[in-house]
Structure 1
């Protein structure tokens, strides 16, 4: 025989919206972290290429090839 308090607690719907918001917020945070990790991993290679290109040549030579800029 169930206790009357547990039966009332199981039927009570107060706090359900709060739980929904907590689950929704946790889901949004999890998706944000997953997207951030994916973008971070995907951006490492191009950023390394840009760094190598900029350190190999000077920027004016890339913008104006064949011209001497004083």
Structure 2
């Protein structure tokens, strides 16, 4: 049992794994925060594009304009 505890204390694989898990969670958290930050602007831009495109009509092939 003492040998097992000594080997466990010498190994660093578990600590490195925990470091990578924490680092990965931080990166994912930053990504989610970034998406949440720009979501409102993207929704607004999409609404503006929808309004602009729904108000137009195709006059001839390849031309977008008012009738």
Higher relative contact order (Cα pairs below 8 Å, separated by 6+ residues): 2
In which range does the TM-score fall when normalised by the shorter chain? 0.5 to 0.7
Q: Which runs of 5+ in 1 are unaligned?
A: 63-67
Note the C-alpha offset of 1:47. Answer: 0.8
State the number of aligned residues. 56
RMSD: 2.6
Runs of 4+ in 1 over 2 A off after TM superposition: none
The structure richer in strand per residue is: 2
What TM-score results when the alignment is normalised by the length of structure 2? 0.65
What TM-score results when the alignment is normalised by the length of structure 1? 0.63
